[in-house]
């Protein structure tokens, strides 16, 4: 992760409390593949937003500390839950800058379970209530 | 106001007194003021809102304590590799819903974190669960529960009203491939599920569950869950086929 210490924002914080509160939102499958002991924050540009079951996906691109593009994948909850929170398939568009905080895969792959998301117009609600 | 105060006190007590868990689990939330329940009407969209003392488990099982399983039940339970506890991933779980998109069955359908809707007609009431288009048809035309039911994923259900606001549903003939909950507690085809949908006021409903299955459970497994009306919500689409299987690839980061 040291390559992320410049350019993109990288913050690692304890996430136990957040996990306890947010876990039901992600309850259709396990979270064992994700490192839930750390929260990672990255800023990047949306390449594609896919509003699909079972969980919506954001494909976005960050830059590493060498300025090289780095692909990321972010996961949200189900489209129905996002709809009730005001989302549509057009809420995020290619070119939008986002800052996503969440847990990444234990494998180190740039796949994030997003727990907090800032979009072009501010923070986005990630569940119906 | 007095009731609200008592409810609040119960909720606070339930949060801290885990040793009295049976009492604690049944402690209701402090309720917002609501008009009385209408007569013989539970139509609408409902969403699980658990008291604090229950929220740690109501997304995957009925009670904080393990149910009392028979030897057969314990053996079958040991074979279940549930994915939500953190021990198993999508690649290692044998959860029939997540790996094969099997229908969840009654009562496991309550452990998908999505709302459901009641649609009442003169001769039956439909339960439309948002998860995977799951439908239960509860007959209210006076027919008896079948004594030798055909086996289906969601079972055969009959219902009747007790008093003005309690809808009682009995269900039998549930496929034994389904789990009772997300943890994998087993049942046989002899499972009998009794649900008492008690609309305590317009905005709140409680469901008393009783699962009886002598081959799997040494005594009936009981719990009460808490729901709130969501009058502005509509049931959407959560499909399993084709979607969930893709998650193996996603979660493993391949």
ipTM of the complex: 0.73
State the pTM of this model. 0.80
Residue A75 covered by a domain: yes
DSSP three-state, residue B125: strand
DSSP three-state, residue B74: helix
CA triple B177-B97-B53, angle to 5 deg: 100
Provide the number of CB pairs (under 8 Å) joining chain A to chain B: 79
What is the per-residue DSSP string for A1-53?
-GGGSSSS----B--HHHHHHHGGGGTTS--TTB-TT-BEEEEEEEEEEE--S
Say yes or no: A96 contacts chain B, CB-CB below 8 A: no
Say yes or no: A70 contacts chain B, CB-CB below 8 A: no
As for how many domains chain A has, the answer is: 1
Say yes or no: B253 contacts chain A, CB-CB below 8 A: yes
Residue A100 covered by a domain: yes
Mean pLDDT over residues B154-158, rounded?
Answer: 98
pLDDT tens readout for residues B1-45:
333 333 333 333 333 333 333 334 444 555 568 999 999 999 999
B236 pLDDT higher than 70: yes
Residue A77 covered by a domain: yes
CB contact under 8 A, A27 and B84: yes
Chain B partners within 8 Å of A79 (Cβ): 236-237
DSSP H or E segment with residue B22: helix B21-25
Query: Which residue segment(s) compose the domain that A107 sits in?
Result: 40-124
Higher pLDDT, A89 or A7: A89
Residue A4 covered by a domain: no
Q: What is the pLDDT of residue B239?
A: 81
Say yes or no: A27 contacts chain B, CB-CB below 8 A: yes
Say yes or no: A52 contacts chain B, CB-CB below 8 A: yes
Residue A25 covered by a domain: no
Cα distance from A62 to chain B (closest Cα, Å)?
Answer: 17
Cα distance from B63 to chain A (closest Cα, Å)?
Answer: 16
Q: What is the pLDDT of residue B68?
A: 98
pLDDT tens readout for residues B112-137:
999 999 999 999 999 999 999 899 99
Residue A12 covered by a domain: no
Higher pLDDT, B194 or B87: B194
CB contact under 8 A, B90 and A84: no
Task: For B13, list phi and psi in degrees, rounded to 5.
Answer: -60, -45
Measured between alpha carbons, how far is B99 from B108 in angstroms, rounded to an integer? 15
The CATH code of the domain that includes A98 is: 2.40.50.1010
Among A54, A83, A84, whose Cβ lies nearest the Cβ of B247?
A54
Question: By mean pLDDT, which of A52-56, B63-67, B222-226 is the weakest?
Answer: A52-56
Residue A21 covered by a domain: no
CB contact under 8 A, B130 and A80: yes
Q: What is the pLDDT of residue B155?
A: 98
Chain B residue at shortest CA distance from A52: B243
Residue A20 covered by a domain: no
Averaged pLDDT of chain A: 81
Is residue B142 classed exposed, middle or buried when 0-12, 13-18 and 19+ CB atoms within 10 A define those classes? exposed
């Amino acid at each position: 992760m040291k390559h992320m210490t410049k350019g993109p924002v990288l913050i690692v914080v304890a996430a136990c409390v957040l996990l306890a509160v947010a876990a039901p939102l992600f309850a259709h499958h396990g979270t064992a593949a994700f490192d839930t002991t750390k929260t990672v924050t990255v800023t990047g540009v949306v390449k594609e937003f896919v509003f699909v079951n079972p969980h919506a996906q954001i494909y976005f691109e960050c830059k590493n500390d060498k300025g090289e593009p780095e692909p990321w994948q972010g996961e949200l909850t189900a489209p129905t839950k996002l709809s009730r929170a005001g989302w549509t398939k057009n809420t995020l568009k290619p070119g939008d800058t986002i800052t996503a905080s969440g847990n990444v895969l234990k494998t180190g792959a740039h796949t994030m379970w997003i727990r907090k998301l800032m979009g072009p117009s501010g923070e986005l609600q990630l569940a119906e209530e | 106001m007095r009731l609200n105060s008592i409810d609040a006190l119960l909720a606070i007590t339930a949060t801290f007194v885990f040793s009295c868990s049976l009492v604690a689990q049944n402690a209701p939330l402090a309720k917002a003021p609501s008009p009385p329940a209408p007569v013989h009407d539970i139509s609408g969209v409902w969403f699980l809102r658990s008291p604090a003392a229950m929220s740690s488990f109501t997304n995957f099982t009925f009670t904080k304590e393990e149910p009392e399983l028979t030897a057969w039940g314990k053996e079958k339970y040991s074979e279940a590799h549930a994915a939500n506890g953190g021990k198993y991933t999508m690649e290692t779980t044998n959860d029939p819903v997540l790996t094969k998109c099997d229908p969840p069955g009654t009562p496991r359908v309550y452990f998908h974190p999505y709302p459901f809707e009641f649609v009442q007609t003169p001769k039956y009431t439909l339960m439309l669960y948002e998860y995977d288009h799951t439908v239960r048809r509860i007959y209210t035309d006076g027919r008896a529960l079948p004594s030798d039911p055909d086996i289906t994923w969601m079972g055969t259900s009959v219902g009747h009203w007790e008093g003005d606001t309690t809808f009682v549903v009995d269900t039998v003939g549930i496929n034994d491939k389904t789990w009772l909950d997300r943890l994998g507690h087993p049942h046989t085809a002899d499972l009998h599920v009794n649900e008492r949908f008690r609309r305590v006021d317009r905005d709140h409903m409680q469901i008393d569950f009783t699962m009886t299955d002598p081959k799997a459970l040494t005594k009936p497994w009981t719990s009460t869950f808490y729901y709130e009306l969501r009058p502005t919500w509509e049931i959407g689409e959560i499909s399993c086929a084709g979607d969930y299987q893709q998650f193996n690839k996603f979660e493993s980061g391949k």
